[in-house]
Amino acid sequence: MSKAAADVLTTSAPVGSCVAVCLWDPASGVGGMLHFLKAIEAAQTHDGAKIVAKMKELPTDDVTFGKGRIREDGRHLHAMYLWEVKKPEESKAAWDYAKLVKTIPAEEAWRPLDQGNCPFVKK
């Protein structure tokens, strides 16, 4: 990682059900977590371009977003979910507030690659 990249890269360690390293670049609005660390391990390098290539090569799978992948333009593709808030009488336990209405497949949930005009995608 270049010195310039290291200067703008913010790291934090949120604590919740797990502890993880979060990376956030405020200039580009890009963040990442476990997948980034897996890519470093798989690529056996700290070269940014090689890590990004490995991140795009490896499938993603995490508790928050489930299975997915990182597309050529850097967008993380994963299923999206439509939830409906339950009526009070429908709730059966504490925190039982929502019911899943629909799962939207990743291919339908995100803008198609050819409509994004991303400069990272070669035409």
63: Cα separation from own chain's centroid? 11
Confidence band of 37 (pLDDT split at 50, 70, 90): confident
Non-local (6+) Cβ contacts of 6 within 8 A are: none
Query: What is the reported pLDDT for 64?
Result: 72
Give the type of residue at 96. Answer: D
Query: What is the reported pLDDT for 123?
Result: 67
Distance CA 2, CA 11 (A): 16
Q: Which residue has the higher pLDDT, 72 or 11?
A: 72
What pairing do the DSSP bridges indicate for beta strands 66-70 and 98-104? unpaired
Question: Which residues on neighbouring strands pair with residue 60, listed in sequence order?
Answer: 68
Query: What is the reported pLDDT for 60?
Result: 87
Give the per-residue SS3 of the chain. Answer: CCHHHHHHCEEECCECCCECCEEEECCCCEEECHHHHHHHHHHCCCCHHHHHHHHHHCCEEECCCEEEEECCCCCEEECEEEEEECCHHHCCCCCCCEEEEEEECHHHHCCCHHHCCCCCCCC
**Number of Cβ atoms within 10 Å of the Cβ of 39:** 21
Residue range 79-113, pLDDT digits in tens: 999 999 999 999 999 999 999 999 999 999 999 99
